Chain A
Amino acid sequence: MTASPRPMMLAALVLTGGVALVGVRQAAPPYGQFVSSPPVVLIPSLSGEPEYCLTCHEGIEEISSAHPTEVFGCVRCHGGQPLALDAETAHAGLLGGRNPSTFDVVEAGCGGSECHSGPAEDGLDHIHRSRVSLQSTYAGAIAAVRQAFGSQSDRKAHFAAASVTDPEVTTPTGLPSLDALLPIAASEPAQVQAFVTRCLTCHLGSEALDRPGYRRLDGCAACHTVTNWDGTYTGNDPTLARTESGHAATHRLTTSIPFTQCNTCHNRGNYSLVDMTFHQRMDLPPDGTGARSVAYYQPIAQFTACERELDCIDCHPSSEVMGDGDLHSAMSEVRTLECRTCHGTPTESPATRSVTDSADPALRQAQLNPFSTLTLGETVVVTDGGSALWNVRQRPDGSYQLMSKVTGTVFAIPQVAGSSCEQDPQDQTSSACHECHSVQEP
């Protein structure tokens, strides 16, 4: 009996096919769609451990000059599996998905005593400050709504968007802790319940509304990464879809935060106390373009030239927007800046101090800004609270100037003293100054 060679040939073909497929997969690994060379290895000096993330993410922007890629690598902040070469395994254990600054994981992502959970006296307690700030707690709005509907008699904050504790209260208006509003919502009046379900999206810990113009990340990245109108990525990471929302415009952290980033929350509409819903402003330009003065500010209010020309952070320092490290009931409790801070009064010039210490926090903040030219020995303006405004300097000739943190443009600051201004130094409310200084729509 002679066996037919055909079955054996076919079987050998199956094995050959298997071997060929292994060869194909070896020659064209899953990451091959992004790079053709061998896997790209990075050994950041902080960990000394190899990371292969750039194999696929080659071309991604360095997150910031303060976090050089060759020092930090990717895994220190993002977590994940540094050795893996397929997306699913590599991304296992990523901190906060794409955003390690999301508050659930921010301590692991950005924290640590050497990083952003450092000592308050050195100004390195960024995470704590952000988490207890009004932008995170939303405590002011919560207190106002609860007072309006009879749940509390005063405007003091009792509740926050999430429960939060401040172990060290340093200001007279600081509060030791706030409870989360959600767990007690059922016992609140109907309007407050509606507020809880519809209006608690307006804080740093929450995801933004998924609408053009509202798109931002959350946590620290809500402010420190710039998002574009559609929330799409426009950088050079080959793996990221260019059409999908939910991304920062580029993989960059910045302290030069443009007003457009603030506007992803501010100036976009109003929460109505009547029906407890958010009413989107219909007068905003639908494509996100348009002159800022016309397009964005609420048309009912008055503004001075500096409020239209400067970016928000040019005047509102970190101690206001990120808070002073205490839990507060209202923005007014942390506001240290008034018109006279930069413009002086009829009788006094702005308060100033010299930057003489190389460890001066003002100098450190300045160094994080791409436009800053502040050097040791220069004189900067300080607020009533003692915070230095590193971008507001007194020149050797005695004049004052402000440098935009966002564009680097330098503005001369007119002084009240010696002018025809008739202000009452004790009345620094914006309405008092707006009486003379509001500018008309151009």
Chain B
Amino acid sequence: MKRPNFFEHLHPPTIPEPQARFRYTLGLGGLSGFFFLVTTITGALLLFYYSPTSEQANTSVQLIQYHVPFGWVIRGLHFWSAQALVVTAGFHLLRVALTGGFRAGRRFNWLLGLALLVALLGLDFSGYGLRWDASIGWALLVGTNLLRLVPLAGSGLYQWVVGGSQLGEATVLRLYGWHVFGLMLPAFVVAVWHLFRVRRDGGIAHDPALQGEARLPRSALVRREMLAMLVAGGALLVVTSLATPALDGPLDLSVLSTEAHAPWFFLSIQELLRLGNPLWMGVILPLAALALLAFLPYGIDRGSSLGRWLPSDGRLTQVIVLTLAVGLGLLTVRGALR
């Protein structure tokens, strides 16, 4: 008998129809996979021109943006798919939590997903740093300084991430190392593992008690994926054509811009930092939120129903994740409005 190949493994012969509906998944996991793929491929292309030295980094980005044939498209797609990925991954997390998708043996994949999200944020932040332009100085300084605050390991962690006792010429190479390897490799492995676990855990979460419900064949699933990829790909190209990712002049660490602004996905942390002690607001609180999310399927969520939005046996989970999401959203909006 022919063993299923990887593609067939990801696409079972049939999947339950109600859970394949767009209004159930919102297509977020699949879109995240697509954006991850686009980011990876365009990132690989950018490697051919990017120079990870403090002298050349910004110049090489300008070279890509303005002089490499279609370099602006590749850079634009890389940037916009990375931003889209953070958004879709975040909402995918929310969708899974609000449909109880981490229940019944799927707990471990929830952890993989969280690890993936952390890696994505690290990738986005390191990529932001690789622009090495005047506008990233403060965010890089503040963001990396938070690492120093981590009890006991802070100083070592800082040097590990930054490549020295302070931001300097080595930092851009270090960020590059993290971006293209140190974070990318685990992200890739975990992403594949995450997909593998979905299938190993019985496919998309649905109620196994409901037998005989409508099933969707593989061809229909692939067709839907095609549709989503065409639309998402088109949207990425449109956005890339209309909006150029920011690019300022080269970063001079001795003259930091007076405007301190975190990248959008860390605006919430910037707002938290304004509220109080940096260790509590910038390190402990975000880590606690992450730990709370990780702990949800292990100690907080007691429900068992699957395959429906907002199951009544998951109210506590829903309140927790929605509170976190609304808090994150409000902080981000507040930061953006400054």
Q: State the A residues within 8 Å of B (CB).
A: 1, 3, 7-8, 11-12, 14-19, 21-22, 24-26, 39, 52, 80-81, 83-86, 89, 92-93
Tell me if A81 and B220 are in contact (CB < 8 A).
no
Tell me if B241 and A18 are in contact (CB < 8 A).
yes
* Complex: A51 Cα to B292 Cα, angstroms: 53
Q: Which interface residue of A7, A11, A80 has the most chain B CB atoms within 10 A?
A: A11
- Selected contact of B59 from candidates A14, A83, A92, A93, CB within 8 Å: A83
Interface residues of B in 242-256 (CB under 8 A from A): 242, 244, 247-250
- Selected contact of B234 from candidates A14, A52, A85, CB within 8 Å: A14
Tell me if A92 and B249 are in contact (CB < 8 A).
yes
Q: Which interface residue of A16, A39, A52, A83 has the most chain B CB atoms within 10 A?
A: A83
Stretch of B63-71, B104-112, B272-280 lying at the A interface:
B63-71
Q: Is B2 an interface residue (CB 8 A)?
A: no
16 CB contacts below 8 A, A to B, read A3-B223, A7-B227, A11-B234, A15-B231, A18-B238, A21-B241, A26-B73, A39-B66, A83-B59, A83-B66, A86-B66, A89-B65, A89-B247, A89-B248, A92-B133, A92-B249
Nearest neighbor of B67 in chain A, beta-carbon distance: A83
Nearest neighbor of B76 in chain A, beta-carbon distance: A22
CB distance from B114 to the nearest CB of A (A): 32
In the complex, per-residue mask of B208-242: 1 if CB is within 8 Å of any chain A CB, else 0 = 00000000000010010011001101111110111
* Complex: A25 Cα to B244 Cα, angstroms: 11
Q: Is B81 an interface residue (CB 8 A)?
A: no
User: Binding site of A, secondary structure by majority: helix, strand, loop or mixed?
Assistant: helix
Nearest neighbor of B62 in chain A, beta-carbon distance: A83
For chain B, give the interface size range: 20 to 34
Do A19 and B237 form a contact, CB below 8 Å, given A14-B231, A80-B249, A92-B249?
yes
* Complex: A406 Cα to B72 Cα, angstroms: 49
* Complex: A52 Cα to B65 Cα, angstroms: 13
Tell me if A22 and B134 are in contact (CB < 8 A).
no
Tell me if A8 and B226 are in contact (CB < 8 A).
yes
Tell me if B249 and A14 are in contact (CB < 8 A).
no
Tell me if B70 and A15 are in contact (CB < 8 A).
no
CB distance from A246 to the nearest CB of B (A): 23
- Selected contact of B237 from candidates A3, A11, A18, A92, CB within 8 Å: A18
- Selected contact of B249 from candidates A11, A25, A81, CB within 8 Å: A81
Residues of A within 8 A of B59 (CB): 83
In the complex, per-residue mask of B69-98: 1 if CB is within 8 Å of any chain A CB, else 0 = 010110000000000000000000000000
* Complex: A15 Cα to B72 Cα, angstroms: 18
- Selected contact of B66 from candidates A1, A21, A85, CB within 8 Å: A85
